[in-house]
Amino acid sequence: MKIRILEGPHVGKILDLRNEEFIIGRDKECTLQLDVDGVSRKHCRIFREGAILIIEDNDSTNGIRVNGEKVKRKTLAANDKIRIGKSLIMLSDDRDIIEESAISNFTFEGSETAETENDNSGKAILAAVIVVVLVLGGLFALINMEEVDPEEVVEISNSNKALNQLDAEEEIPLDPVAKSASPVPQDEDEDEEEEEEEEEKPEEAIIEMHSYMVKSNPSGADVIINGETVGQTPYVMQDLPEGAHAIELKKTDYAIKKEVIQVPVRDVKTIDLELEAGIGLIRSTPSNMAVSRGHQVIGKTPFKFKAGTGKYEFKLSGVGYNDEDVEIFLNKFKASIKEVRMDKSTGTLSIRVMPSGAVIFIDGFSKGKALGEVNEFSKPKTLHGLKGRGSRIWAEYDGKMSQIVMMTIKSGQHQNLKLVIEGFENKAPKNKVKVKVKKEAPVKADNPIEKKGGGAVELD
């Protein structure tokens, strides 16, 4: 088998498929190098499996097409046409190709080569065939000429010499009119018109392929195309031509979702799945809260369940959050969804102390030093996860202490407090030291301030 290049670089060239593996691509190491747009570095390969000849795509960008059909791997036969980028090659079984040896051994009458009578008879037949082809080519040219001198004589004696001067390593296709000297001179204007027609010939369009990411809420849905499951969301669909494509999303306990996607697309939307009728769903903010019924923990949020028609009670709980009781009603006509926002069971307190470097105490436990300095006070020291209850708070510095403040830590809130060590009152700004919460809401002490230490603290 041989391949003939019909379009693109090296057009007209013929190569023998003698190698075990015939690689086509842009790389210099390829058996056939096609250094043009649309061709990958090692685009594809042609190889044998026994007596069968196979072409296989090497994961190229634009792929290969055999007789117009895009393929990944295909068995080849004679006269198959293969499109690789802007190049077109054809598989040949040698019947449409004249071997160079048959042409180079033929001579016209009057040649100095002498052959035996048996050889002359065979060569005479071959010579007659070539002369007929040349004459037909000449007639074709005469028909298309605008004006020919009737007394002009056409010389063809040099045609044999031109054929014999071909490179011995290259085979030629059977196209004597295109390859041999023209038997009748043509007008230059005709040549220019033919060149213009060739330039205007439109090239075969290369179909641009696209990808598309399918996302769903919740994720993990099967992506079905033409009845075949190809993956689960989020899933990237490859090699999609431009246009509309129908897909299906399927997930247990959710209704099948049919969608039509448009390719190419700028923004990928998330497809929301709908629960089937008769199913209950409890979601919490934040999620991952324990779900219990009675004294038994049965799951975590988001929690999905099936049951008969009726009312069902649950409790949600989590570390650092207050417990929440949840009621949900189920019916057989639609799904029931309950959204729950969890409240924190602890609060946050930011404390500033004068002077900087004082140690902070809450209920007798040291919470570390308040460091840095801004306007005579330390930078705020923020304490998280404080339980919502009344607490005793003070600061100590160099053997001295501030007054002890009794205040209630409020769950889910961020509060502020300033403390002044005894002996530093005169350095404090004239404005009052306040205990503040977010939005400047005043904080009232649950109990009177204990008169321990000489520091001054004022609560609004």
Spatial separation of the C-alpha atoms in residues 24 and 15, rounded to whole Å = 12
Binned at pLDDT 50, 70 and 90, residue 148 comes out as very low
Q: What's the DSSP call for residue 377?
A: B
441-453 confidence digits (pLDDT tens): 443 434 333 334 4
Is residue 198's pLDDT more than 70?
A: no
Is residue 109's pLDDT more than 90?
A: no
Is residue 443 a contact partner of residue 436, using CB atoms and an 8 Å limit?
A: yes
Which range is most confident: 4-18, 117-131, 247-261, 280-294?
A: 280-294
Return the structure tokens found at 139.
């007639």
Is residue 224's pLDDT more than 70?
A: yes
Spatial separation of the C-alpha atoms in residues 223 and 213, rounded to whole Å = 11
Among candidate residues 226, 164, 155, the one with its CA nearest the CA of residue 185: 155
Spatial separation of the C-alpha atoms in residues 328 and 279, rounded to whole Å = 11
For residues 126-143, average pLDDT? 69
- Overall pTM surpassing 0.75 (yes/no): no
**Mean pLDDT across the chain:** 75
What is the Cβ-side half-sphere exposure of residue 407, based on CA atoms within 13 angstroms? 30
Which range is most confident: 17-31, 80-94, 212-226, 389-403?
A: 389-403
201-219 confidence digits (pLDDT tens): 555 556 677 888 888 988 9
Residue 438 vs residue 391, higher pLDDT: 391
Least confident of 11-15, 78-82, 196-200: 196-200
CA-to-CA separations, 186 to 95, 131, 147, 181, 182, in angstroms, rounded: 32, 20, 9, 11, 8
Residue 365 vs residue 174, higher pLDDT: 365
406-426 burial, b at 16+ Cβ within 10 Å, e below that, comes to ebbbbbebebbbbbbbbebee
Residue 16 vs residue 234, higher pLDDT: 234
Angle at 217 between CA 211 and CA 218, to 5 degrees: 115
Spatial separation of the C-alpha atoms in residues 392 and 134, rounded to whole Å = 116
pLDDT value of residue 196: 53
Binned at pLDDT 50, 70 and 90, residue 124 comes out as low
How many percent of the chain have pLDDT more than 90? 31
pLDDT value of residue 120: 54
Q: Which residues contact 306 (CB under 8 A, 6 or more apart)?
A: 253, 278, 279, 280
Amino acid at 14: I
CA-to-CA separations, 409 to 349, 431, 446, in angstroms, rounded: 8, 24, 10
Neighbours of 265 (CB within 10 A): 11
Residue 393 vs residue 390, higher pLDDT: 393
pLDDT value of residue 94: 65
pLDDT value of residue 345: 85
Calculate the CA 350 to chain-centre distance: 47
Long-range contacts of residues 383-389, Cβ cutoff 8 Å, at least 24 apart: 383/348, 383/349, 383/350, 383/351, 384/346, 384/348, 385/320, 385/346, 385/348, 386/346, 386/347, 386/348, 386/349, 386/362, 387/345, 387/346, 387/347, 388/345, 388/346, 388/347
Residue 366 vs residue 134, higher pLDDT: 366
Least confident of 201-205, 240-244, 286-290: 201-205
Residue 403 vs residue 147, higher pLDDT: 403
Among candidate residues 80, 94, 109, 119, the one with its CA nearest the CA of residue 2: 94
Is residue 399's pLDDT more than 80?
A: yes
For residues 265-269, average pLDDT? 73
17-70 confidence digits (pLDDT tens): 777 788 899 998 888 888 888 899 999 999 888 878 899 999 888 899 999 899
Is residue 44 a contact partner of residue 84, using CB atoms and an 8 Å limit?
A: yes
Is residue 320's pLDDT more than 70?
A: yes
Spatial separation of the C-alpha atoms in residues 195 and 182, rounded to whole Å = 16
For the chain, the C-alpha Rg in angstroms (whole number) is 45
Measured in residues, the chain has a length of: 460
H helix or E strand, kind and range, residue 120: helix 117-144
Return the structure tokens found at 85.
């980028």
